[in-house]
Amino acid sequence: MIDAENLTKKFDNLTAVDNLTLHVKEGEVFGLLGPNGAGKTTTIRMLCCLISKTGGEARIDDYEIGNVADQQKIRSIIGLLPENVGLYDALSAYKNLDFYGRMYKVKEEQRKERIEHFLKMLGLWERRDASVGTFSKGMKQKLAIARTLIHDPKVLFLDEPTANLDPEASRTVRDFILDLKKEKRTIFLNTHNLDEAERICDRVGILKTRLVAVDKPEKLRESLWGIKTEIQLDAVNDAIVAAVKRLGPWKIEIAGNKLIIGVSEPEKENPDIVDAIGKAGGRIHFVTQVSPTLEDVYLKLVRS
Amino acid sequence: MDLEIAWTVATKDLSIIRKKKSIFYAVIILPLIMSIGLPAIVWVVEQRGTIPDAILIGLLNAFSFFFVIMASLSSIGISSYSIVGEKVEKSLEPLLATPATDGEILFGKGLAAFIPTIVATYVSVTIFMILTDILTYAQLGYSYYPNLTIALVLFLVTPLAIILSNELNVLVSARVNDVRTASQLGAIMGIPFFVIYILAEIGLISLDIATFLAISAILLAADIALFYLSRTTFRREQILTRWK
Ligand SMILES: Nc1ncnc2c1ncn2[C@@H]1O[C@H](COP(=O)(O)OP(=O)(O)OP(=O)(O)O)[C@@H](O)[C@H]1O
Ligand SMILES: [Mg+2]
C-alpha cells in the first residue's frame, strides 16, 4: 500500500531522509521510530505530497508521489494527522469536522453520521458546539484524529498521535488506533513512545536519516539480544554456578541473588537448569524469561 | 476549478472572521464613518452659504472616489488574516493535505475578503447617497445620486480595486509570518489611489467617466497579471516549511 524506494529528501545541503526503502502492506500498522530530527516528519510529508522528494520513488496504492496527476488522488485516499493539530480555534468542534468533510466532498448525510460517530466515540459529543480554542491539548488531539478519518481514508498517516496526552487519553487514542486496524486500514505512524509502538504496530522501522532496522517488534528484540533465563534464588554460591556451567556453554551473569543465563532453547534447557540448581542445594524463588525491551534495542541502534 | 470547494473555504474563513471582532469591525467601521462623515461635510459646506454648482459637483465626485480607497483598504484586514492566520494556527498543513487545488484555496480566500467588503461598501454608499441627495436637492434642484459616475465606481472600479488589494495581500501574506505586518504592507495598496486623488485635486486629471474607465482598465490588467503571479508563486512547500 505504501512503497518507497530510495526515497530521499535534502534541504539545501542537509540530508533529512536518505535512501529510505520501505514497504507497508494493506491493513498493516507500521511505526517509525527515531530520535528528534531523524526525518520522520519529513518522510510523512513527502508521502502525503506536501513537500517534494529530492530523489527515489514512492507510491501510495497505485499512485505515484511526485506525479502531478496522481497527487490529487493520493490526497483523497489518505488522512493526515500532522505534528501540530492545526484546528481552527475560533470554530466549534463540529464545524471543524464539517469543514473537512466538505473539503473531501463527503455527502451531507454521511458527514453528519460520521461526525456524530467519532465525536461520541472520543467523548467529545457533549462539547461539539464549544469553540476548539477552549479545548485541552488532549481533546484537540482526539478531535484532530477524528478529522483525519472524516473521508474514510484507506491510508492514515499519524505524526506522533499520543504526544502530549495523559496516560488515559493516550490509552483512548491507542485503543482507537487498534479499532481502526481491525477495519483493515493501513496506518503509518511516527512515535517516540516505544511501548506504544510495540503494542500497536505490526512492524516498526528505526530511522536515523537512514533506515537502521525494520522488523516485527519482537523479532527486533530477539535478533539483537537473544533470550535469557533469570533465576531468583535464596542465595547464589559457587557450587550452584558450577552445576549450571556443567550443563552447557552459556553466558552466565550473577546479579545479587539472581542468575541470568543466556540460554538458546529455553523450553528444553530450563528444566535441566532448575534440576541442577536444586541438586546443588539452591532454593529457587522465581524463574522468568527476560528479553530486552524495545527501548534497549532502540537505544543500541540509535547510538551506534 | 471546483467552485463548491472554493465556496467551502470562503464560508469557513467568513465564519472565523465573524468571530474575530477586530477584523470584523475594521470592515464595517470605516464605511460607516464615511457614509455619515461625507454627508456631514456637505452639510457644513452648505451651511456656510451657497457654493457654485460646479464646485459642489466636483466635491461629490471626489467623495465617490473615496469609497474606492476605503474599499481597497478595508478588505486588507481580512485578506491578511486569511493566509497568515492559517500559518499562525498551523492549520495550513491539514488544509494542503486535502485534494483542494491552489486555485480553489486562493479563490475561496479571495471571496472571503471580497464579499464582506463589497457588502459594507454598497450599504455605506447607499446611506451616503440618500443623505447627500437630501442635503443638496434644494441647491441643485434634482437628486444628484444615483448617476452614471457612481454606478461606474460601485460596479466597476471598486470590485476591481478590492480584487487587486486581495491579490497583493495574498502575495505579501505568503511571505510574512504575522497578521500585522501583512496588513501594514497591504496598506501600500492605498498609495496609487491617493496619488490619483491628489492629481485630481490639483487639476491634472478630472474624476469623470473617462478617467474612471481608464482606471478600471488599468485595474483589470493588474488584476489579471497578479492572479497569474500569485498562482505561480504560491509554493505550497515553501509556505509550509518556511513558517518555522
Ligand atoms: N523546511 C526545512 N528546512 C530545512 N531543514 C529542515 C526543514 N524541515 C526539516 N528540516 C531538517 O530535516 C531534519 C529532519 O526533520 P524532521 O522534522 O523530519 O525530524 P523528525 O524525525 O520528525 O523529528 P522530531 O522527532 O523532532 O519530530 C532535521 O534536521 C530538520 O532540521
Ligand atoms: Mg517530527
Supply the ipTM of this predicted assembly.
0.84
A110-121: per-residue pLDDT in tens?
999 999 999 998
Q: A206 and A238 share a domain?
A: no
What's the CA gap between A38 and A165, in Å, rounded?
Answer: 22
- Give the number of whichever ligand sits closest to the CA of residue A35: 1
pLDDT score of B85: 82
Q: In whole angstroms, what is the distance from residue B74 CA to residue B72 CA?
A: 6
The answer on A133 and A160 residing in a single domain is yes
Q: Does residue A11 sit in the same domain as residue A93?
A: yes
A235 in a domain, yes or no? yes
Q: What is the side-by-side order of every strand in the sheet holding A228-233?
A: A252-255, A258-261, A228-233, A284-290
Beta pairing partners, A208? A210
Q: What pLDDT, in 10s, does the model give residues B142-193?
A: 998 898 888 998 999 999 999 988 888 877 777 777 777 777 777 777 788 8
Distance A171 CA to ligand 2 centre (A): 21
Residue B204's pLDDT is what? 80
Q: What is the pLDDT of residue A298?
A: 76
Task: Name the stretches of chain A with pLDDT < 70.
Answer: 223-226, 292
pLDDT in tens, B75-132: 888 887 887 888 888 898 999 999 998 888 888 988 998 999 999 999 999 999 999 9
With a CB cutoff of 8 Å and minimum separation 6, the contacts of B124 are B31, B32, B34, B35, B67, B70
User: Confidence band (pLDDT; 50, 70, 90) for B242?
Assistant: low
For chain A, the farthest-separated pair of C-alpha atoms sits apart, in whole angstroms, at 77
Question: Cα(A222)–Cα(A215) distance, rounded to whole angstroms?
Answer: 11
What's the pLDDT score for residue A254? 87
Contact A145, A157 (CB under 8 A): no
Same domain, yes or no: A35 and A82 = yes
Let me know whether A163 and A282 are in one domain.
Answer: no
Model pLDDT for residues A185-207, shown as the tens digit of each residue: 999 999 988 788 888 999 999 89
Do both A210 and A251 map to the same domain?
no
Domain count along chain A: 2
A163 in any annotated domain: yes
CA distances from B71 to A32, A227, B6, B64, B74 (A): 51, 75, 22, 11, 5
Cβ-count burial B185-201 (b if 16+ within 10 Å, e if not) = bbeebbebbeebbeebe
What are the two backbone dihedrals, phi and then psi, of residue A78, each rounded to the nearest 5 degrees? -115, 155
Check: CB of residue A172 under 8 Å from CB of residue A166: no
Cβ partners under 8 Å of residue B106, min gap 6:
B170, B230, B231, B234
Return the bridge partners of A284, or none: A233
Query: CB contacts < 8 Å between A and B, how many?
Result: 77
- Asked which of A172-176, B12-16, B181-185, B195-199 is least confident by mean pLDDT, the reply is B181-185
Q: What is the CATH number of the domain that holds A144?
A: 3.40.50.300
Picking from A84, A99, A131, the nearest residue to B12 by CB comes out as A99
Q: What is the pLDDT averaged over residues B211-219?
A: 91
Distance CA B53, CA A259 (A): 111
Put simply, the chain B residues between 7 and 36 with a CB less than 8 A from any chain A CB are 8-9, 12, 15-16, 19-20
CATH of the domain at A230: 3.30.70.100
**A93 and A156 assigned to the same domain:** yes
Q: Do A108 and A190 belong to one domain?
A: yes
A281: phi > 0 → left, psi -120 to 50 → alpha, else beta; which? left
The residue contributing the CA closest to ligand 1 atom 22 is A41
What CA–CA distance (Å, rounded) separates B218 from A283? Answer: 98
Task: For chain A, say whether B184 makes contact (Cβ under 8 Å).
Answer: no
Residues A31 and A164 in one domain: yes
Q: Identify residues of A whose CB sits under 8 angstroms from chain B CBs.
A: 45, 48-52, 72, 75-76, 78, 80, 82, 84-91, 95, 99-100, 102-105, 131, 144, 147-148
Concatenate the DSSP letters of all residues of A34-81 into one string.
--TTSSHHHHHHHHTTSS--SEEEEEETTEETT-HHHHHHHHHHEEEE
Q: What is the DSSP letter of A125?
A: G
Please indicate, yes or no, if residue A56 is contained in any of the structural domains. Answer: yes
Whether A221 is in a domain gets the answer no
CB atoms within 10 A of CB B54: 8
pTM given for the model: 0.83
Whether A18 and A84 share a structural domain: yes
Final residue of a structural domain among A196, A215, A234:
A215
- % of chain A residues with pLDDT over 90: 49
Residue B18 has pLDDT above 80, yes or no: yes
Show Cβ contacts of residue B126 under 8 Å, excluding neighbours closer than 6 positions. B35
**Domain ranges across chain B:** 3-242
Cα separation, B133 vs B151, whole angstroms: 15
Where among A215, A250, A268 does a domain terminate? A215
Supply φ then ψ for residue A211, to 5 degrees: -80, 115
Band of residue B244 on the pLDDT scale cut at 50, 70, 90: very low
**Same domain as A230, residue A142:** no
DSSP state letter for A131: B
Are the C-beta atoms of residues B116 and B14 closer than 8 Å to each other? yes
* Domain that includes residue A112, residue range: 2-215
The verdict on A236 and A209 lying in the same domain is no
